[in-house]
Structure 1
Amino acid sequence: MKTRFDAIIIGGGILGVSTAYELAKAGLKDVCVIERHYLASGSTGRCGGGFRQQWSTEANTRLAMASVKRLEGIEEELGYQTEFFQGGYLILAHSDEDVEQFNKNVAMQQRLGLGVKTVTPDEAREIVPFLDQTKIKMATWCPTDGHISPFLLTQAYANAARRLGVEIHLWTTVTGLMKKSNTFFVMTDKGPYECQKLFNCAGSFARSIGEMLNVEIPVDPYRHEILVTEPVERLWNPMVISFGVGLYSRQEKNGGVVMGMGDPNEPVGTYVGSSMHFMYEMSRRFTTLFPKLSGLRIVRQWAGLYEMTADAQPILGPVDEVENFYQANGFSGHGLMLAPAVSQLLAELVTTGKTSMPIDDLHVRRFRGARTFHREKSVV
């Protein structure tokens, strides 16, 4: 088994495999992904599958817009069906504070060239039938947002990466890291590896990977739960988000209604079991907005992890402490929708020394000694 590579990527989720593909595409020949379980076994495979460009910070908006542009041609590029569908995102405002923030968001998004607009409660009801429009003051609507299968997109990138010579080593756990001179030594339960460039795409475990090289990566995992109902006739196409009520929901291709939420009282940790509290609370929140759908029957529930940073924005690029140790983590629940752009930018940075979009503001040093942050507000 080959164990010496130009680059090793820790993590076989969407960030790991897309970064591997982009590095190989950019000319880096010896690339390896190390994953302790199977592809998309972490947060990627447990997410709701949505992608959106409606954010409160310019950094997330720019990354998301670039990602959607990539996704629009990704099936042709990678030669694999991904269930990519631009059904839109409808984001609901319930308070005067929401309205003020959403108007600021839309103004910024439109300035960046995004096709987004505000809509009235009645217009929102036309976009999403069954919505109780009396519960909202307005909404924002972007028809080019949508959803995609996280499993199929991950597999598409993995297949394309392998065609370019990337090796993907599954069921391999990283147990230690060390750097001597210009070489990283990656210790695993299958034996040691060596590389010149190392990428931390370990998601909710990014902090522990950083600690192996005495680098603080301030990412903390929090459980977020999700469920799906029985398949029913077509109700609506968009993803619906309410930051005020605290939920997101969309209908799958087969008719099941997916919905999820986060608990503000959830402790830091990697536990991904399901809870009865979630099922009851999720049902209450959903029927607040969709009272006529109270008869939907739940068939399955599960949980995943949001890898949160203090400002709910990702950590990208190198670190000051260890040369050639690159980060792509801390996506705060939105790695799937930002991965197509982020992986391309990382490949640009490594192979050319510059990026087509500025990412300096997302360097981990922004957290070193800082007490206040420009936080992303559009997180559910």
Structure 2
Amino acid sequence: MAAMSEKVRVLVIGGGAVGVSCLYHLAKAGWTDSLLVEKNELTSGSTWHAAGNVPTFAGGSALMNMQRYSAELYRRLGAEVDYPMNYHVTGSLRLGHSEERMDEFRRAIGQAKRQGMEYDLLGPDRIRELYPFLETHGVKGALYDPLDGDIDPAQLTQAFAKGARDMGARIERFCSVISVRRESEEWVVETDKGEIRATYVVNAAGYRAQELGRMFGREVPMMVMSHQYILFEEIPELAAWSKEVGHKLPLLRDVDSSYYLRQEKAGMNLGPYERHGRAHWATPGDPMPDDFSFQLYPDDLDRLEWYLNDAVERVPILGTAGLSNVINGPIPYAPDGNPLIGPMPGVPNAFEACVFTFGIAQAGGAGKLLADWIVKGRPEWDAWSCDPRRFTDYADPDYCVDKGLEVYGHEYAMHFPRHIWPAGRDRKKSAVHDEVAALGAQFGPYNGWERALWYAREGDDTSEEATLTWDRNGPWQARVAEECRAVRDAVGILDLPGFSRFEIVGGKAKAWLEGLITGKVPKVGRIGLGYFCDEEGRVVTEMSVMTLAEDRFLLITAATAQWHDRDWLLRHLPGHGGVTLIDVTREWSCQILTGPKARDVLAAVTGADLGQPWLSHQEAVLGGRACHLVRVSFAGELGWEIHSRREDTPAIWAAVTEAGAAHGLRPFGMYALDSLRLEKGYRAWKQDLSTDYTALELGLSRFVDWEKSDFIGRAALLAERERGSARRFAVLELEDHPKDAPYLANVLLGDEIVGDVTSCGYGSRCEKLIALAVLQADLAEPGQALEVDVFGQRVKAVVAGDAALWDPANVRLRA
């Protein structure tokens, strides 16, 4: 292409497997007026040196969906686009050395079954049948994935490219992006070949994504790791075996030792994830080169010695092979190891599909999700675990490096429900953090904010090792039960920094809010829950709507939802003005004071009207400082949220805790709050409330005002109401079990999957194991007997209905 002045619908920047998959899927969706630019040749970034493994196994549902989709697509892609591809579906063995690891595998079997895949759990004898060269010392079993395998990354990328071109999309290689600007609702991208104007832009620049992001004013949360794998020469014994049986060995992952071992022709490929990895291009003295296309780092084999020795003990024939080659290339990492797929935070019509640690396995699914975001405005399945907006301003470069090194060194780690990874902590602290810590608080981060999870007493085991378990009954459980009982019988206080807060101001603000939420905007002096749906009626988010005046509102939402919800609101602001949004998250803090004696405590420190009804709010003075008293309680007891400016919070905390001493006040943490809210059937965002379900499926019809002429999702919800929902929300009582059912555990009727668990935990007031679930509609009736798959064990469950198990009439809440 000569000097150009192009205008396209979508511009994809980056020509690796992910970027070209995005172009392919956009074209497949009919958006053929799309262009991809690459500064060098296709695959010149991380794609060219990628090992090309294609597992379907993943720790979360969204990633497993992506990888399942990729594997399905790759099996047919070559034929569909008429391009030759080397794709070997060999199956894989994932070794387990402990019962905790075997439980992880049992959980994965249930996840896979939910997505139509069949994994199997094998004992040592069966493992040896599939992998005769393997020593099984110390191995309890293995997870077998028959769909795992490996693909040639370059061929995959070229297949996507051919398919995209055949449908009319275009690719321009050797075209570097120089700058980006916004003009007249379009992106103007300056390249070394001229200008390109685009309605939408996609950052698919791989390990250069941060460099490109800065052109948009965006600091992409990422770092770059040095990842090595070793190729070995031909092993005659392996060559003879493969010739005899006619296929390759299954891909082997010794996850507890942290490496994979794959047959490569008649040799082998060993890929470790070492605990003491190396970050590159992370300091001013180590800048990223202007061009690192098709280049590698120098070998650093000393880092791999332990893993090589362990692999030779596991598969002795590896020790007979000579080393053929070492690949040491750059791999991008986000702070949690998941990719960034979706809207670029705070930037209109810009998207990210970058920072892929397993880009070959995820490229197909990533391209589909990205195309869904652009074409439909939403992905097919909830993909919050990959959403770029899950990280906010706390994820600075130092944080990204610390977390990237940690994630890389624990690539195959089990993610236990109570374990908090230690790197990158204390990014944001409450104004009373030290006071809370002095009471024994054990903290965990929420959008970077440190919150008390539970309060330890002298002699309690607070070590990290104590949390490396799937069991609920760790050293915290007795304290959580005590905290719950204190809230039930007396009064508890929870310091809750980090609520996301948005002031909405303007003469048209009320009408604008009415068009966004499914229900009514509360009257002045009142507060209520507002549910925001997409066009299909699926729940995007939940916010508390506090009406301060006819033209002034405060929206309060989850800490982790800050940039997600801000983007949703900004995207829907009226173009004609009349509504202003201000993010005031940093300026405020909150405490929850709740329990039957909460009124007595407040009466000692404020002259406010404590007889105001549930769901009301008022300005007050407490401990000599101004605050906002809000008559709500997520714990389901008489209570208030005390909202105060950060500088006023210490005085208010001191006044309340001093007055509370006479009434049995006890601090409680997030674990207790989660237990208490489950007993009330309260839904939590991105657990129970997600775009996997509609508002009606989640039992939120009482929050839908059908008399309103319009709101986003109304037509879809109205059609669903008329035909009846296929699924319904329900509260389940489970037979007691030492483990909580994990997120999206299967609910079973016989051998049929009939629903999903969205939350589970023990209710200390009810003394029951409780699950919130979405079930096949005809089974969501009280008394229906079901079972829940809890790490491979079928646990009996009974539908209790859709109402709260604790105080269903809200007598205590309204007291």
TM-score norm. by structure 2 comes to 0.44
DSSP 3-state at the match of 2:335: coil
Give the match for residue 344 of structure 1: 368
- For residues 110-139 of structure 1, the C-alpha deviation after alignment (integer angstroms, 9 at most, x for no partner) is 333321011112221211121111142211
Q: Equivalences for 1:181-196 in 2 at 5 Å? A: 181-196=184-199
User: Residue type of the partner of 1:229?
Assistant: F
Q: Is the 8 A contact 1:34 1:168 kept in 2?
A: yes
Listed one character per residue, the Cα deviations across residues 197-241 of structure 1 (whole Å, up to 9, x for unaligned) are 111111112122212111232121111101211233055421111
Secondary structure, counterpart of 2:353 in structure 1: strand
Query: Which residue among 55, 59, 63 is the counterpart of 1:60?
Result: 63
User: 1:116-135 to 2 correspondence within 5 Å?
Assistant: 116-135=119-138
Partner of 1:91: 94
Structure 2 stretches of 5 or more lacking a match?
Answer: 243-247, 282-295, 414-815
Distance 2:316 2:116 in 1: 36
Could you tell me which amino acid in structure 1 is paired with residue 313 of structure 2? T
- Residues 78-106 of structure 1, C-alpha deviation per residue, up to 9 Å, x if partnerless? 11121112111111112343223233333
- Report the Cα distance in structure 2 between the residues aligned to 1:220 and 1:134, rounded to whole angstroms: 37
Mapped contact 2:273–2:411 kept (Cα < 8 A): no
Residue 285 (structure 1) shift: 3.2
The structure 1 residue matched to 2:207, chosen from 204, 208, 213, is 204
Give RMSD over aligned pairs: 2.4
The equivalent of 1:180 in structure 2 is: 183
**Residue 264 (structure 1) shift:** 2.8
Instruction: Give CA-to-partner distance per residue, 1:336-376, whole Å, 9 cap, x none.
Output: 11111221222233223333222244221111267999x89
The residue aligned with 1:363 is 387
Tell me the equivalent position of 2:343. 318
* SS of residue matched to 1:130: coil
Q: CA deviation at 1:266?
A: 2.4
* AA matched with 1:11: G
2:267 maps to which of 233, 256, 260:
256
- Asked whether the equivalents of residues 343 and 351 of structure 2 are also in contact (C-alpha less than 8 Å), the reply is yes
SS in 2 for 1:104: helix
What secondary structure, in the 3-state scheme, does the structure 1 residue paired with 2:362 have?
A: helix
Structure 1 unaligned segments of length 5 or more: list them. Answer: none
* Residue 228 (str. 1) matches residue 222 (str. 2): no
Q: Greater shift after overlay, 357-366 or 296-305?
A: 357-366
Contact 1:198 1:324 survives alignment (8 Å): yes
Q: Distance in 1 between matches of 2:194 and 2:141?
A: 57
TM-score (norm 1): 0.91
Q: How does 1:1-380 map to 2 (within 5 A)?
A: 1=1, 2-4=4-6, 5-232=8-235, 233=239, 234=241, 236-252=248-264, 254-269=265-280, 272-278=297-303, 280-332=305-357, 334-368=358-392, 379=412
Distance 1:328 1:357 in 2: 16
Q: Which range is displaced more, 276-285 or 199-208?
A: 276-285
SS in structure 1 opposite 2:87?
coil
Give, in whole Å, the separation in 2 of the partners of 1:221 and 1:36. Answer: 19
Following the alignment from structure 1 to structure 2, what is the Cα–Cα distance between the partners of residues 188 and 281? Answer: 46
Q: Does the CA-based 8 Å contact 1:228-1:300 persist in structure 2?
A: yes
- After superposition, the C-alpha distances for 1:286-332 in whole angstroms (9 at most, x for unaligned) are 21311233111111111223221222222111123111111112222
Q: Deviations over 1:56-99 (max 9, x none)?
A: 21111111112222122111111112111211111111234322
The structure, 1 or 2, with the larger RCO (C-alpha pairs under 8 Å, 6+ apart) is 1
Decide whether the 8 Å contact of 2:181 with 2:189 is kept in 1.
yes
CA contact (8 A) 2:341 2:369 kept: no
| Distance (Å, rounded) in 2 between the aligned partners of 1:132 and 1:114 | 28
Structure 2 contact 343–352 (Cα < 8 Å) conserved: yes
Distance in 2, Cα, partners of 1:274 & 1:282 = 15
For 1:124 and 1:3, how far apart are their aligned partners in 2? 59
Identity of aligned residues (%): 27
Q: Give 1:121's aligned amino acid.
A: P
User: 1:281, 1:37 → 2: CA distance?
Assistant: 37
Match of 2:566 in 1: none
Question: Does the aligned pair in 2 maintain the 1:88–1:146 contact within 8 Å?
Answer: yes
Deviation per CA, 1:243-273: give whole Å up to 9, x if none: 2212112112x32311212333223225733
Change (3 A) 1:10 1:179: same
**Conserved? CA contact 2:230–2:326, under 8 Å:** yes
Question: What SS class does the counterpart of residue 51 from structure 1 fall into?
Answer: coil
Asked if 2 retains the 8 angstrom alpha-carbon contact of 1:220 and 1:268, the reply is yes
Distance 2:305 2:386 in 1: 37
Q: How far, CA to CA, are the matches of 2:123 and 2:337 in structure 1?
A: 29
Residues 35 and 171 in structure 2, CA contact (< 8 A), matched pair in contact too: yes
Query: Is the 2:105–2:143 Cα contact (8 Å) retained in structure 1?
Result: yes
Give yes or no for contact 2:338–2:385 (8 Å, CA) kept in 1: no
Shift of 1:378: 5.7
| One-letter amino acid matched to 2:387 | H
259 and 193 in structure 1: CA distance in 2 versus 1, 3 angstrom threshold: same
SS class of match (1:44): coil
In 2, distance between residues paired with 1:306 and 1:124?
32
- Which one-letter code corresponds to 2:341 in the other structure? L
| Contact 2:9/2:199 (8 A) holds in 1 | yes
Pair 1:326–1:269, CA change in 2 (3 A): same
1:92–1:241 contact (8 Å) kept in structure 2:
yes
CA 1:52–1:328: 2 relative to 1, 3 Å = same
- Conserved? CA contact 1:130–1:293, under 8 Å: no
Structure 1's 24 and 3: CA in aligned 2 closer, same or farther, altered over 3 A? Answer: farther
Q: 1:56, 1:378 within 8 Å by CA — same for their partners in 2?
A: no
SS across alignment from 2:88: coil
CA distance in 2, matches of 1:304, 1:114: 32
Alpha-carbon distance in 2 for matches of 1:224, 1:361: 23
Alignment partners' CA distance in 2, 1:285 and 1:305 = 25
Matched to 1:119, the amino acid is L
3-state SS of paired residue (2:320): coil
Asked if the contact 1:40–1:154 (Cα under 8 Å) also holds between the matched residues in 2, the reply is yes
| Cα displacement (A) at 1:37 | 1.9
Take 1:347 and 1:195, find their aligned partners in 2: how far apart are those partners?
A: 15
